[in-house]
Structure 1
Amino acid sequence: MKKSTGNRTGESPSALIDARIEELSDWRGATLARLRALIRQAVPDVVEEWKWRGVPVWSHDGIICTGESYKNVVKLTFLKGAQLADPRHLFNSSLEGNARRVIDIHEGEQIDEAAFVALIREAAALNASDAARRPRRKA
Structure 2
Amino acid sequence: MSDKTDSEQIDDIIAQLAGWKHETVASLRAAIRAADPDVVEAVKYKKPSKPEGVPFWTHDGDLCFVDVLKNAVRLTFSKGARMPQSDLFNTRLDSKVVRGIDFVEGSTVDRSAIGELVADAVRINAG
Structures share a fold, TM > 0.5?
Answer: yes
The corresponding residue for 1:19 is: 12
User: Does residue 1:79 correspond to 2:78, yes or no?
Assistant: yes
Q: Counterpart of 1:50 in 2: which secondary structure?
A: strand
User: Does residue 1:46 correspond to 2:39, yes or no?
Assistant: yes
RMSD of aligned alpha carbons: 1.1
Structure 2 unmatched ranges of 5 or more: 47-52
- The answer to whether the 8 Å contact 1:75/1:103 transfers is yes
State how far apart, in whole Å, the 2-side matches of 1:56 and 1:111 are: 17
State how far apart, in whole Å, the 2-side matches of 1:61 and 1:103 are: 22
- The answer to whether the 8 Å contact 2:72/2:105 transfers is yes
Match of 1:92 among 90, 93, 112: 90
State how far apart, in whole Å, the 2-side matches of 1:112 and 1:85 are: 17
Match of 1:112 among 110, 113, 116: 110
The corresponding residue for 2:49 is: none
- Identify the structure with bigger relative contact order (alpha carbons < 8 Å, sequence gap 6+): 2
Q: Counterpart of 1:75 in 2: which secondary structure?
A: strand
Q: TM-score, normalised by structure 2?
A: 0.91
Residue 113 of structure 1: CA displacement?
Answer: 2.4
The corresponding residue for 1:68 is: 67
The sequence identity of aligned pairs, in percent, is 43
The structure that has the greater radius of gyration is: 1
- The answer to whether the 8 Å contact 1:21/1:33 transfers is yes
Cα offsets for 1:76-120 (capped at 9, x unmatched): 111100111134x11100101111111100011113322211110
Q: TM-score, normalised by structure 1?
A: 0.83
- The answer to whether the 8 Å contact 2:66/2:74 transfers is yes
